[in-house]
Amino acid sequence: MSRSLVRRAQPWLGTIVAIEVMAEGDAAHAAPTFARAFAAVERVHEAMSLQSATSDVARFNTARNGAVVVCDPWTVNVLSLAHCLQRASAGLFDVALGTSRNGAYRIVDACSVVKLGGRIDLGGIAKGYAVDRAVLALRASGVERGLVNAGGDLRAFGPGAWPIVVRTGQTDAVVQIALERGAIATSQYRSGRSPHHDDALISPAGSAVHAIDRTITVAAPRCALADALTKVVALSGNARHPMLHEMGGLAWLQ
């Protein structure tokens, strides 16, 4: 049976999530595989999106201090990772907004947390986590080679490189990266503004390019890590921050 590259895209997490896989047979043959991968992305969206009034994040933010908030285990997993990254970065990466001295939350078990104070926003890590979950779903379906791109948070697996374009600096210049295995995420600086994610910042080769002020690019084994580490590099201004070595990451400031 012949093999071909098949691509599908859906709107999730406030951006377009595109999945490309090397599949056997025609596109219809790969439909169940795409369905499982997009279901993983949808689960992250429903649990962690600020735009959904019923998400774990929204329910946490409206709960009273001291309340136990029952969450999707994936949300607790992300909160646990975020807590580790917050401690390792001395607060540079922090999903909490207006927290108390004891932090915003305490994990109770695999599906619940206690609200200690303030609010949370998982926008700096959830998109990368969704990419990782989609990759796991693809691998579980037997896919040997693929790429998941959630608005510029990318992860590739399997043999062969994927040409990726990163927009850089204050000109129209671009850098092309051959991504074979692992993940890439980016953040940017604009004058007078804090570093943030830009869904148009990084894309497969051939997409339109727009000039920006400054780019922070991070490569890491997992997309959730790459996503979070861009914030650490952007806020520290240090492309050799010790966390990068600890987490198996590599950063560029352009």
Q: What is the distance, to the nearest Å, from the Cα of residue 216 to the centroid of all Cα atoms in its chain?
A: 15
Q: Regarding the domain delimited by 3-42+125-253, which CATH topology (the fold level of the hierarchy) does it fall under?
A: T-fold (3.10.520)
According to the model, what pLDDT value does residue 186 have? 83
- Token digits of residue 136: 């796991």
According to the model, what pLDDT value does residue 204 have? 43
Crossing angle of helices 73-88 and 31-48, rounded to 10°: 60
Helix or strand run (H / E) with residue 83: helix 73-88
Judge contact between 182 and 219, C-beta under 8 A.
yes
According to the model, what pLDDT value does residue 199 have? 39
Helix, strand, or coil (residue 230): helix
Residue type, 206: G
According to the model, what pLDDT value does residue 184 have? 93
- Token digits of residue 232: 């650490």
Domain ranges across the chain: 3-42+125-253, 51-120
Residues of the chain with pLDDT under 70: 1-2, 25-27, 98-102, 167-175, 188-214
Give dist(CA 48, CA 54) in Å, integer: 9
Going 93 to 95 to 99 to 103, the CA torsion angle's sign is negative
